[in-house]
Amino acid sequence: MKRLFINIAKLVQTGEMAGKKPLRGAEMSVLKMLEDAYLLTDNDKISSFGKMSEIREKLSEYQNGDTEIIDLTGKMVLPAFCDSHTHLVYAGSREQEFIDKMKGLSYKEIAKRGGGILNSARLLHETSEEELFRQTLVRAKEIMGFGTGAVEIKSGYGLNTADEIKMLRVARRVGQETPLTVKTTYLGAHAVPERYAGNREGYVDEIVKETIPAIAAEGLADFTDVFTEDGFFSVADTEKIFEAALRFGMTPKVHANQMSRSGGVQAGVKYGAISVDHLESTAEEEFRLLANSNTIATLLPGSTLFLEMDYAPAREMIDHGVPVAIASNYNPGSSPSGDVRFMTFLAVLKMKMTPEEVLNAITVNGAHAMGLGSTHGSIVAGKQASFIITKEIPSLAWIPYAFTSPWIDQLYLNGERILL
């Protein structure tokens, strides 16, 4: 099926270069776009695009042929969002911990009392794979409503081989049974399970010797992640897990420097991590390291807001030449929201990113942070026809500015319109 979208007020993110590698430094402030444009799709792919003046004379040929013509007068088109850090698969919810936090308990104190990740692990263990899929599907549909077209989904609430596999099967199934493009990450090293209390090394051994090979045997994970943080996993644990994961073809990612300068960035860069995520506690040494690497800094302002912490120093990172992505970190404990539209607002308001930088961070760089740089994140011929059509909004800066306004009019994923 061919579709020709005409009279597009602004066709955003049309840079050829954008498909090749993540944007860094000054590149992040450039958002290539065409005004008064057309976009032609052929089945699930972008076929071509350009100025309306280039096709105006040929319009009647399209009208008489088998191409559906869609008039977008006054509307903008931008790539569907690429949310490169989520924990979309989980059971139940943890609003009680939110209330406990309001009463003064810290994230670490809640975790120590058996709340936090271990609470989610208990709930997940009691939930069947089918029911887990049903609950996850609700969130998958929800995030498409926010404009997300590609998403990374982590495990990490299983904390034993069978339950981690259950989570990753559900994540893969989301990719098979919804229009979302899904990349999966094994995050067994998210917390030490109760049965290994006082014996973290034992759990790391289980991850390395039993769980990673079992997950690899089913081809369930594209990436491996570790929560490298004081009270969770050390740099030595992280390196051991990465060595095992790399033997099975899983690229590293790291939850790094969320609460302290944990050494996670250094471990990530050393093992060629595709991204290091969080980075609220990050300094000059890490900026330089990341600027000289191919690792993307993925910042998660939703959890920073929720946990009432200091925001990641996005401005300094970009000024040092670090490629920055923004993601929702949708999870039940620190960011119960998968609304990347809202994350663009936080990134501008709290991290002083410009609208252009933020939109690059949530499209091109988000795609690269999940290994989808050649297929998603920009309007380029040959890429997936996955894009957002806006309502008649005055400018691109409206997107991070009007932070509760429902500015998305339509969503196309892989060439098909999604009912929102």
What are the residues binding ligand NIG (CB under 6 A)? Answer: 116-117, 120, 227, 255, 258, 303, 329, 331-334
Six-digit token pair at 346? 């936080």
Please, which residue, 268 or 415, has the CB nearer to ligand NIG? 268
Please, which residue, 46 or 299, has the CB nearer to ligand NIG? 299
Please, which residue, 117 or 359, has the CB nearer to ligand NIG? 117
In order of 78, 181, 223, the CA distances from 184 in angstroms are: 25, 10, 6
DSSP 306: H
Q: Return d(Cα 210, Cα 205) in angstroms, integer.
A: 8
CA angle 18, 80, 374 (to 5 degrees): 35
Please, which residue, 152 or 357, has the CB nearer to ligand NIG? 152
Q: How far is the CB of 395 from ligand NIG (least distance, A)?
A: 32
Q: How far is the CB of 156 from ligand NIG (least distance, A)?
A: 7
Please, which residue, 10 or 255, has the CB nearer to ligand NIG? 255
Q: How far is the CB of 204 from ligand NIG (least distance, A)?
A: 17
Q: How far is the CB of 107 from ligand NIG (least distance, A)?
A: 7
| Chain position whose Cβ is nearest to ligand NIG | 333
Q: Return d(Cα 376, Cα 369) in angstroms, integer.
A: 11
Please, which residue, 69 or 123, has the CB nearer to ligand NIG? 123
Q: Using the Cα atoms of residue 218, residue 156, residue 252 and residue 385 in order, give the sign of their dihedral.
A: positive
β 33-42/148-154 pair status: unpaired
Q: How far is the CB of 232 from ligand NIG (least distance, A)?
A: 8
Q: How far is the CB of 214 from ligand NIG (least distance, A)?
A: 22
Number of neighbours of residue 308 by Cβ within 10 angstroms = 9
AA identity, residue 373: G
Cβ atoms of residues 379 and 13 within 8 Å:
yes
Residue 102: enclosing H or E segment and its boundaries? helix 95-102
Six-digit token pair at 281? 């506690």
Q: How far is the CB of 227 from ligand NIG (least distance, A)?
A: 5
Please, which residue, 183 or 255, has the CB nearer to ligand NIG? 255
As to burial, measured by CB atoms within 10 angstroms (0-12 exposed, 13-18 middle, 19+ buried), residue 89 is buried
Q: How far is the CB of 335 from ligand NIG (least distance, A)?
A: 6
Cβ atoms of residues 344 and 78 within 8 Å:
no
Q: How far is the CB of 46 from ligand NIG (least distance, A)?
A: 33
Six-digit token pair at 370? 């999940």
Please, which residue, 39 or 110, has the CB nearer to ligand NIG? 110
In order of 45, 55, 85, 93, 113, the CA distances from 15 in angstroms are: 17, 20, 24, 40, 50
Please, which residue, 4 or 118, has the CB nearer to ligand NIG? 118
β 2-12/76-79 pair status: parallel
Q: Return d(Cα 218, Cα 297) in angstroms, integer.
A: 29
